[in-house]
């Protein structure tokens, strides 16, 4: 059937035409989602699942997706919904369909109280270039690094790629990078010595974790490599701990892969294993109309039975 394809450096899932067509039909009838607190409501998940199960070949697609995302698979996937986005547009019906698919992986939830379930990541020419909404290099990081219970998965849906052809997504296997470090660096990264970011208006992510260890000693499916390159400049680290974190950053860059998301692609990253970032956008963004600039939508997922360190 050929659902799973290995394209370039990435792991991509291309849907068969029969499934594409069935999902386009489903997208027109899926109801708007409901939430219970920060989480997608059980009633919505059950309704979405019943509809998806009726689609031909969806079971095989779900198996391929989950196999990629677990600890023995790639740890990330790019699902190509390009034909569906072309047919449906990127409005609410398409987002309901994307939400339904992601609910097969884990529970969609809304950790940021001030943003909706799908959080816009647009292109702001006035933002710090290194931020997710900026135009420069967005260095490797995991999302919500400074909370005791980070999202298990982060997802990025491409509504519009950079019309100038740049802004590739970058990923790195954080745990593989750790294995290439010296024992002394790994020991330093296990110290509760690192910090980054603020903590406010957040839901269902535990408490603030500050300072935190980069390496928490937990099994890979429970723990995280708590890393963001931005902490190198903002943590007030001593020389030894800063050097260890820089060594890890260098190994992540050395092992990185990259690919450019196109309209309708969504990237799903298992944060227990991988970190992500972005190459700079194309020069000349001032010449691109605001409504044509790169636009992604982000959604977070919480797996069942997630635990975390006790909040301090």
pLDDT digits (tens, 9 = 90+) for 93-137: 999 999 999 999 999 999 998 999 999 999 999 999 999 999 999
Tell me what pLDDT residue 3 has: 57
C-alpha span between 261 and 165 (Å, rounded): 10
- Domain assignment of residue 250, yes or no: yes
- Domain assignment of residue 308, yes or no: no
* Structure confidence by residue, pLDDT tens digits, 68-85: 998 777 899 999 999 999
- Domain assignment of residue 307, yes or no: no
Give the number of C-alpha atoms closer than 13 A to the C-alpha of residue 127, restricted to the C-beta side.
Answer: 15
Containing domain of residue 224, as a range?
A: 4-302
- Domain assignment of residue 309, yes or no: no
Share of the chain above pLDDT 90, in %: 88
- Domain assignment of residue 235, yes or no: yes
Tell me what pLDDT residue 70 has: 84
- Domain assignment of residue 311, yes or no: no
Mean pLDDT, the chain, rounded, equals 93
Contact 98, 266 (CB under 8 A): yes
- Domain assignment of residue 200, yes or no: yes
In degrees to the nearest 10, what's the CA dihedral of 50, 56, 59, 63?
-140
Q: What is the value of pTM for the model shown?
A: 0.94
C-alpha span between 73 and 70 (Å, rounded): 5
Which residues does 237 contact at the CB level (< 8 Å), separation at least 6?
193, 194, 231, 245
- Domain assignment of residue 165, yes or no: yes
* Structure confidence by residue, pLDDT tens digits, 231-264: 998 768 999 999 999 999 999 999 999 999 999 9
**How many domains does one find in the chain?**
1
Question: CATH number for the domain including 289?
Answer: 3.60.130.10
**Helices 42-53 & 92-102 angle (0-180, nearest 10):** 90
């Amino acid at each position: 059937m050929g659902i799973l394809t290995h394209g370039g450096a990435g792991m991509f899932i291309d849907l068969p035409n029969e499934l594409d067509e069935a999902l386009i039909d489903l997208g027109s009838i899926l109801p708007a989602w409901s939430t219970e607190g920060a989480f997608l409501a059980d009633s919505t998940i059950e309704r979405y699942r019943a509809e998806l199960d009726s689609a031909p070949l969806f079971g095989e697609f779900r198996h391929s997706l989950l196999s990629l995302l677990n600890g023995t698979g790639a740890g990330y996937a790019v699902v190509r919904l390009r034909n569906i986005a072309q047919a449906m547009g990127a409005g609410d019906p398409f987002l309901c369909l994307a939400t339904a698919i992601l609910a097969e992986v884990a529970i969609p939830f809304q950790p940021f109280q001030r943003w909706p379930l799908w959080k816009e990541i647009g292109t702001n020419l006035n933002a710090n270039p290194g931020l997710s909404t900026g135009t420069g290099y967005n260095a490797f990081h995991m999302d919500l690094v400074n909370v005791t219970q980070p999202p298990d998965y982060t997802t990025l849906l491409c509504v519009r790629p950079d019309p100038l052809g740049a802004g590739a997504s970058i990923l790195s296997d954080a745990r593989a990078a750790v294995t290439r470090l010296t024992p002394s660096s790994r020991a330093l990264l296990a110290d509760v010595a690192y910090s980054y970011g603020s903590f406010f208006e957040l839901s269902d992510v535990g408490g603030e974790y500050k300072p935190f260890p980069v390496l928490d000693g937990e099994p890979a499916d429970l723990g995280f490599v708590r890393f963001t390159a931005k902490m190198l400049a903002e943590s007030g680290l001593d020389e030894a701990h800063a050097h260890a974190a820089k060594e890890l950053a260098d190994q992540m860059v050395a092992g990185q892969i990259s690919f450019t998301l196109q309209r309708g692609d969504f990237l799903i990253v298992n944060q227990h294993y991988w970190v992500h970032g972005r190459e700079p956008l194309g020069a000349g963004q001032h010449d691109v109309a605001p409504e044509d600039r790169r636009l992604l939508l982000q959604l977070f997922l919480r797996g069942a039975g997630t635990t975390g360190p006790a909040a301090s």
